[in-house]
Amino acid sequence: MHEKVITAEGTPNIALIKYWGKRDSGLILPMNSSISLTLGKESKMIAGKTFELRTKTSVVFSKYLKEDAIYVNGKRLDLKDTDTIERFRAIDMMRERAGIRERALVVSENSFPTASGLASSASGMAALVYAVAYALDLGLTRSDMSRYARIGSGSACRSVMGGIVMWNKGTREDGVDSVAEQLYPETYWPELRDVVSITSPKAKKVPSRAGMARTVATSSLYKQRVKDVDGRIDAFLDSLRRKDFHEFARIIMEDSNSMHATMLDTYPPIMYMNDISREVIYAVHELNKKNGENVCGYTFDAGPNPQIITLREQVEEVAETLKNIRGIKSIFYTGVGGGPRLLDMKDSLIEEGSLLPKG
């Protein structure tokens, strides 16, 4: 009954109110709630071609498999590696829920650079949990799925839904209430755009998991950030309700700056931004000043690549500004996405009837 091959796709999300720091690192419970935009998969290069910003994942559970096998971008993962074991614990948890013992074959492919500051872990986990839930007929709600995705990577729990999504930090010790919730569907503010600049496609020096643990342990500024975030979320929700882009942009820039300030206040310090990131920050403020209001706002994750949130009619102006900054390797933009979905058999990454990856 569980021999069916399921293929799903997921897209990354960009946090507008950031998650940085855990209150429980085993259950992946955050210190503060966070809010993100699930990105659309249709992305367009500025002066270039369109491409897809998504992870595609195929899953099959079979009694003919001796052990779990996970392939990401053509490479088989070492399932003895502690970090990998931790990240894929969700598969075991879902298997247990289904009450089966069959091993799984997972084949996953990203269409964008891994570890570039774009959260491939989020789209990957969202696609994986979605595919496994259907492969095992678990009948999960999106909220249930977010609980499993969270185990793989905290920020991933927000990618199991489309539109504007909040990860409620929850208060329970067992983490059952630490789940994602869709605040608005992707149709609510369809003019929103995320303009992404790649300044460096290299993997980051400090992985976010280790980095945030160090911040919680050593930064005194961090305590203030955690206190501030609740109030900031209230103001942010209000700007969303009113679709007040000026306020919306101010709040996301403040929150990104606040998170990066706590990174610098970490000992030894963590610095994800580079000179180009800082140039972009100045240029955005300059552009907003010229317009007499905020027409765009930057946000940076655990990497140097700026993501500039703006509205459709401003994409060109933002892109023109970015083109004048030396060192930016490429620029693309995308809109708001609808979250993971199932794909057809023809999109499968598993060879039909073979229990092997295609190709």
SS3 250: helix
- Nearest approach in angstroms of CB 167 to ligand DP6 is 8
Give the footprint of ligand DP6 on this chain (CB under 6 A): 15, 18-20, 28, 34, 119, 121, 153-155, 208-209, 301-302
- Nearest approach in angstroms of CB 268 to ligand DP6 is 18
**DSSP type of residue 28:** T
- Nearest approach in angstroms of CB 185 to ligand DP6 is 20
- Nearest approach in angstroms of CB 192 to ligand DP6 is 17
Nearer Cβ to ligand DP6 (15/131): 15
**Total Cβ atoms within 10 A of residue 2:** 15
Nearer Cβ to ligand DP6 (115/138): 115
SS3 50: strand
- Nearest approach in angstroms of CB 335 to ligand DP6 is 19
- Nearest approach in angstroms of CB 299 to ligand DP6 is 9
In total, the chain counts a number of residues equal to 359
d(CA 146, CA 24): 17
d(CA 294, CA 276): 21
Nearer Cβ to ligand DP6 (121/258): 121
Nearer Cβ to ligand DP6 (60/253): 253
Tell me the CA distances in angstroms from 355 to 44, 233, 253, one per residue in order. Answer: 35, 46, 47
Buried b (16+ CB within 10 A) or exposed e, 336-350: bbebbeebeeeebbb
d(CA 359, CA 71): 12
Nearer Cβ to ligand DP6 (13/348): 13
Nearer Cβ to ligand DP6 (71/167): 167
Nearer Cβ to ligand DP6 (7/200): 200
- Nearest approach in angstroms of CB 355 to ligand DP6 is 29
Mark out the alpha helices in the chain (DSSP H runs). 82-87, 89-98, 120-135, 142-152, 208-218, 221-242, 245-264, 275-291, 315-323
Where do we find the tokens 């989020």?
122
